[in-house]
Amino acid sequence: MIRPKTLKKGDTIGLMSASGATPSERLQPAIASIEKLGLKVVIGETCHARHGYLAGTDDQRAADVHRMFQDPTIDGIFCIRGGYGATKILPLLDFEVIKENPKVFAGYSDVTALHIALNQLCGFVTYHTPMPSTEFIRQEMDDYTWQSFRQHIMATEEETYYLENPADQSMSMLAAGSATGPLIGGNLTLVTASLGTSYEIDTKDKILFLEDIDESEQRVDRMLTQLKLAGKLDDAAGILLGAWTNCGPENPQKPEQSLSLQTIFQEILIPLNKPIISQVTCGHCLPTMSLPLGRTITMDADNQRICVVG
């Protein structure tokens, strides 16, 4: 797996959206947040465009992706936000062109669709990170989150290092054991949406990370069951569970008519007989860690340790 050159001060970022339209009042603060890192910004057409809930038409969003990867003056690409729409442009992308121009590519949530495709079809590491118009501009963007982001995007990456929660937030062992494999995944909804397509996630002998937001416990159950029936959970070497923000009962007034996430995880995941670490501080939350998708990691569930090894 190719590791794109990390960024340094003075490098140029291509800012774009493959998904939802960016509220106009968030654009300038998002640009300023990147410039505070010592980076220059080239603004993509999709930062201004709107096609309903999308950041321009499918053709516009695909063209922005191509432009950012093909432009030799652009050193890295930040997705300004998630939302919806990345899956729609996958058939329009020239993955051979993208493969020839590996560079830092960062974002999360709906961007999961592109992470899966770039990891599998282009063979380079991408980065599951907070985004400029949704986290960078928030006052709650804390030191831990910035440090984790810089460690992956801007620092000279060490060959071996640990992925650690904030000091006051412990990981938890859901199922014992250890495993080693490439780190993949992201948002559960987008991972599940890849099934049955040309861009279906390959979990064979890999470490699968999952998180989500605003999904009822019943829908989380449904999606995990679909992954199970498709063989994706059985194929994985191990599983990491991140934040499940606002994922509660369908009817909050009658929680007894739902199943807790813990019960769902116990019933679907524990019988897989493979290591599982939960409460990884990553996803639609702050603080949040950044993840190097495509890099090889070793997970030790017994000791709740996650180490990047290759």
Catalytic residue ranges? 109, 211, 284
Q: Answer whether 277's CB lies under 8 Å from 136's CB.
A: no
Instruction: Tally the residues of the chain.
Output: 310
Q: Which residues contact 139 (CB under 8 A, 6 or more apart)?
A: none
Task: Looking at 124-277, list the stretches that DSSP marks H as alpha helix, in order from N- to C-terminal side.
Answer: 143-153, 188-193, 217-229, 232-235, 261-268
Q: Please state whether the peptide bond connecting residue 287 to the residue before it is cis, i.e. omega within 30 degrees of 0.
A: yes
**Residue corresponding to tokens 């702050």:** 286
Q: Answer whether 55's CB lies under 8 Å from 47's CB.
A: yes
What are residue 79's DSSP bridge partners?
A: 16
Please give the single-letter amino acid code of residue 189: T
d(CA 54, CA 19): 6
**Residue corresponding to tokens 């063979």:** 123
